[in-house]
Amino acid sequence: MKYALLIGINYIGTDSELYGCINDINNIGAFLQSVRNYTLFIHMTDNTNIKPTKANILAAFNLLVQVVKPGDEVWVHYSGHGSLMRDMNRDEESGYDSCICPIDFQHSGFISDDTIRTNLVLKIPKDASLYIVLDACHSGTGCDLRYKYDDSSYYINKNKPMPNKYVPSEWALVQTSYELKKYSQTRGNVYCISGCQDNQTSADAYDTTGQAAGALTFILLSASRSNPLQTYKWKHLLKDICCGEKINGFSQRTAITSGGPLNLENTVFTTPPVIVSSNMVSKKDTMQSSSTRPQLPNLKSMLTNLQISKSIKMQSNKIRLNMPMNYY
């Protein structure tokens, strides 16, 4: 089974209003349904009956971990504000936890990376896969996963101005992996694609048609739709996103983190890593699938009676995104 939790918050009518987050959720939902064959969705936006409050988001996490089984796949996509909060358990070198901002965060507080790890990441069973996309500020280690992958690919023609479109062969591949040993490996196959590093901000911008969009979500979808996913490698996805950010003048740099060692030569969204303790090697495998399609149990009753608030005060910058992307 494939389950998706899609959260997009524009903070409508507030001082910190964004414009592309609901569009992001609609666009990623269409991709998951048409390309990845997802059929079971939970949508939370400013406009849905079930609002993206802190309580509702945590209830949705709890619901997902109750129904997911070995062989299942879960996609959690968050587009909205991100922030930092003081690290209380001293697991962050910076002294700050990354966090996401529910629609009622001023009253109910943030959802920290510690909470995401405890309530969602660590509860994914063995042989199930969880993909998390955090299109938000300060999200580089937003799930507190053990392995981290960064990209520093550069434009080969240094004497020429930065091109206005992306041609992969014009960029030299440079990538670095890190092991954050303070975090244990996960039982399930967990991957997170973050909009930026922990000390950076992510852009709420516009696509080539003038539609508001998050920079990460737009480039991620452009890359995924422009390449055959059966052969598209993690190293190419990370490179394509980060180079796309550079071409468009964004300072943000996407990171990929994983709960087990990830071989970037493996194909995206289909290859769980082999969990080992001493090196960064992974192995191709085939995700199990189920022919049955159970319904998400008692979703409405779990979420309906929770409190809703829309009082937001946060500043954000808007940058126009204009990127016709080309690939191999």
Q: Show me where the domains of the chain are located.
A: 2-303
pLDDT at 48 exceeding the cut of 90 = yes
Q: Give the pLDDT confidence score for residue 277 in this predicted structure.
A: 36
Task: Tell me the C-alpha distance between 205 and 215, whole Å.
Answer: 6
By mean pLDDT, which of 160-164, 308-312, 317-321 is the weakest? 308-312
In whole angstroms, what separates CA 208 from the centre of its chain?
22
Is 137 among the catalytic positions?
Answer: yes
Q: What pLDDT is stored for residue 97 in this prediction?
A: 82
CB 241 within 8 A of CB 214: no
pLDDT given at position 233: 97
User: What is the C-alpha separation between 51 and 36, in angstroms, rounded?
Assistant: 26
Q: How confident is the model at residue 298 (pLDDT cuts 50, 70, 90)?
A: very low
Query: For the chain, what is the mean pLDDT?
Result: 84
Percentage of residues in the chain having pLDDT higher than 90: 74
The pLDDT of residue 322 is above 50: no
Helices and strands counted in the chain (H then E): 7, 15
Say whether pLDDT at 35 is over 90: yes
Instruction: Please give the model's pTM, rounded to 2 decimal places.
Output: 0.84
Out of 43, 81, 138, 236, which one is annotated catalytic? 81
Of 118-122, 194-198, 292-296, the least confident: 292-296
Residue 319 is predicted with a pLDDT of 40
What's CA 257's distance to the chain center, in Å? 10
Which letter does DSSP use for residue 142 in this model?
A: T
Top CATH class of 2-303 equals: alpha beta
Q: Please calculate the CA angle 264-287-151 and round it to the nearest 5 degrees.
A: 15
User: What number is the average pLDDT over the span 284-288?
Assistant: 26
Contact 113, 98 (CB under 8 A): yes
Q: Residue 255 forms beta bridges with which residues?
A: 194
The pLDDT of 103-124, averaged and rounded, is 96
Axis crossing angle, helix 234-247 with helix 215-226, rounded to the nearest 10: 130
Alpha helix positions (H), 82-156: 105-108, 113-119
- pLDDT score of 308 more than 70: no
> What pLDDT, on the 0 to 100 scale, is given for residue 281?
30
Q: 149-168: per-residue pLDDT in tens?
A: 999 999 999 899 999 889 99
d(CA 3, CA 142): 21
pLDDT at 171 exceeding the cut of 50: yes
Residue 63's pLDDT band, with cuts at 50, 70 and 90, is very high
pLDDT at 87: 65
196 is annotated as an active-site residue? no
The residue-averaged pLDDT of 102-128 equals 96
The mean-pLDDT minimum among 43-47, 207-211, 292-296 falls in 292-296
Residue 311 binned pLDDT confidence (cut-offs 50, 70, 90): very low
Predicted local distance difference test score (pLDDT) of residue 306: 28
Active-site residue, from 99, 137, 192, 242: 137
**Confidence (pLDDT) at 284:** 26
Confidence bin at 240 (pLDDT 50/70/90): very high
pLDDT digits (tens, 9 = 90+) for 67-86: 999 999 999 999 999 998 76
